[in-house]
Structure 1
C-alpha cells in the first residue's frame, strides 16, 4: 500500500536539502530532532563504498526550508520526504532513521511498501500513552518524559542555552542545534511527532525487514515501548553495550552491519 499526497499540493512543496554520495543500492538517511545530516558523520563513510547514500535534512532543520505554515507532524515530514526523494529519482531504498528520523522512517516504510526494502531504526524513542503501561514504574517514567518535553517546549531560553552546552560536549560537531531559526520546528516536531506518535502501529505495518539499533545507556529510550517492538516477528535487535543516543563510531559500525544485513536479504530474495 502506498499513500500518495495530492499532486497539485506536492508539486508546490519546496524540496528538502539533500547530500548524495556513492553508487549502488540506495540508502536514505533521516536524522533526528534538532540535528541534520551531521548525525551520520560516522555512518556515511562506511556505506559509501557499496551504496548510493542520500542524506536528508528534515523540514525546518539543517539547510532545509522552514515554511511558515508547517505543523511538523509525522505526516507532514513524510510528505516533504516523499516529494524530495521523488525529485532526486529515489525509488527502492533502505531507510535509516535516527531518533525522530526513525519514527518518520517507520511511517514512510509503512505507507510506501513498494519502495521501502528495509528499515533501520537507530535510537528510536518509541513512546506510548502513560495509561497504556501496566507496570506503575513504567507508567510513571513515561509521564515524566512527557512532562520534561513539555517543560523544554515552554522554556525557550533554558532549552536553547542547555542545548548549546550539550552540543559543546558532543563528540560530533554541530550534531545538536536548537536556536532561534529552528525553534518552531523543534517544539512542534517534539509535540506532534514524538510526544504524540503512532510508531508501534507504523512498525507493525511495515512489510520489509526492520533492524533495531540502540545503546544500552540511551537516556531517551522507553524500555516498555521498545519491548513491544522487539517482539514483532519482522524485527531484529542490535544492542550496543555502553552506547548512548549519539551515533558514535562503534554504533556506526553496527548500523552499517544492519544495512548490509537488509541488503543481503534483499539480494537472496531476488
Structure 2
C-alpha cells in the first residue's frame, strides 16, 4: 500500500470504468479494477454498503491488486450504474445485476466480499449462483428486515427515507458518516467516508433502503453450502458484533472480530481488512457445521 498517497490520489490509479451488459435487461455498471495483469488468480469482487460506493475500496484495490484481479462495483443506482427496475426491489434483483456484470466481464467464478448492504447482495447471489462463488466473505453484514413484522419493516424503511428527504446526500454525509467509524479512526478515514457518502444518488439510496427492508440474509445463507466467513469490527455500532454473531450462526461459522474498528473498518483499518480478505482467498473459510 502506498500509505503516503491520499485516498484521492490513490483512487486516481483506478479510474472508473463502465460496461454495458448484453442480457435482456440491458444496463450499465460502473466499477473500478486493479490487478488485471493477474489472470490466473481467482478474482475478488468487492460489494459496498448503502452509504458508499466503489471508491471506498481504494486501499484494497491498491494492496490486493498486487497479486490478483480485484473489482469493486457501484451497485445499481449508485454512480453511473443503472438502477434496478422495481421501486421496492428484493435481493434477487441486485443479484441478477451482479450476474449480468460478471458475465459482461467474462468472470465465471470469483470470491465475493460484501460489506453491510453488499453482504445482502452477495448472499443472494451465492444462494442463486453457488457454482460461481469460490468463497463468500461477509464484512459487518446487514441482515435485512425481511423476517421482521410488516410494522417493523415499514418503520425502519420510512425513517431512513425521511432522513434522506430531509438531509439529502450532503446532509447525510455530514450527520451520519461519523457513525461508520470507531474512535480510533484517522481524520483521513473520516474524510473519505464522508466524501463517499456525499456522492450517493437519492434514487439508488431509496431503492437500497427498500432492499434493506425486504431482505433476509440469514435465509439466503441457509441456501448456500459453499465457503463462508463472517467478520465485524469490535467497535461497530451499526451492525454490532452481537448482530453479526447471529449471521455467523446462520452460516455455521465462527465470527471473526477485528480490534479497534468500526462499521467501515476496511477504510479505517485497511491493513487488517486486506489481510482478512487475502487470508480468506488463500486458505478459505472454516468448514461449516450442519
Higher relative contact order (CA 8 A, sep 6+): 1
> How much has 1:185 moved relative to structure 2?
1.6
> How much has 1:168 moved relative to structure 2?
7.4
Which residue of structure 2 aligns with residue 18 of structure 1? 31
Which residue of structure 2 aligns with residue 50 of structure 1? 67
5 Å matches for 1:213-228?
213-221=231-239, 225-228=243-246
TM-score normalized by structure 1? Answer: 0.78
In the alignment, is the contact (CA less than 8 A) between 2:60 and 2:274 conserved in 1?
yes
Aligned residue pairs total 247
Helix, strand or coil: the match of 2:265? coil
Q: Distance in 1 between matches of 2:242 and 2:154?
A: 15
Q: Distance in 2 between matches of 1:102 and 1:44?
A: 18
Going from structure 1 to structure 2, the CA distance change for 1:55 and 1:111 (only over 3 Å counts) comes to same
Helix, strand or coil: the match of 1:59? coil
Instruction: Work out which of the residue numbers 128, 131, 143 in structure 2 matches 1:126.
Output: 143
Unaligned segments of structure 2, at least 5 residues: 1-21, 179-189, 285-290
Which residue of structure 2 aligns with residue 264 of structure 1? 282
Going from structure 1 to structure 2, the CA distance change for 1:241 and 1:168 (only over 3 Å counts) comes to closer
Q: Distance in 2 between matches of 1:233 and 1:72?
A: 24
Which residue of structure 2 aligns with residue 65 of structure 1? 82
TM-score normalized by structure 2? Answer: 0.73
5 Å matches for 1:1-270?
10-22=23-35, 23=38, 24-66=41-83, 71-128=88-145, 129-130=147-148, 147=155, 149-155=157-163, 156-158=165-167, 160=169, 162-166=171-175, 170-172=190-192, 174-177=195-198, 182-191=201-210, 193-221=211-239, 225-232=243-250, 234-248=252-266, 251-265=269-283
Q: Distance in 2 between matches of 1:196 and 1:50?
A: 37
Q: Distance in 2 between matches of 1:233 and 1:168?
A: 29
Which residue of structure 1 aligns with residue 8 of structure 2? none
Q: Distance in 2 between matches of 1:68 and 1:110?
A: 21
> How much has 1:41 moved relative to structure 2?
2.0
Going from structure 1 to structure 2, the CA distance change for 1:161 and 1:36 (only over 3 Å counts) comes to closer
In the alignment, is the contact (CA less than 8 A) between 1:211 and 1:258 conserved in 2?
no
In the alignment, is the contact (CA less than 8 A) between 1:152 and 1:159 conserved in 2?
no
Going from structure 1 to structure 2, the CA distance change for 1:246 and 1:53 (only over 3 Å counts) comes to same
Q: Distance in 1 between matches of 2:254 and 2:58?
A: 24
In the alignment, is the contact (CA less than 8 A) between 1:28 and 1:54 conserved in 2?
yes
Going from structure 1 to structure 2, the CA distance change for 1:160 and 1:250 (only over 3 Å counts) comes to closer
Q: Distance in 2 between matches of 1:241 and 1:146?
A: 34
Helix, strand or coil: the match of 1:254? helix
Which residue of structure 1 aligns with residue 16 of structure 2? none
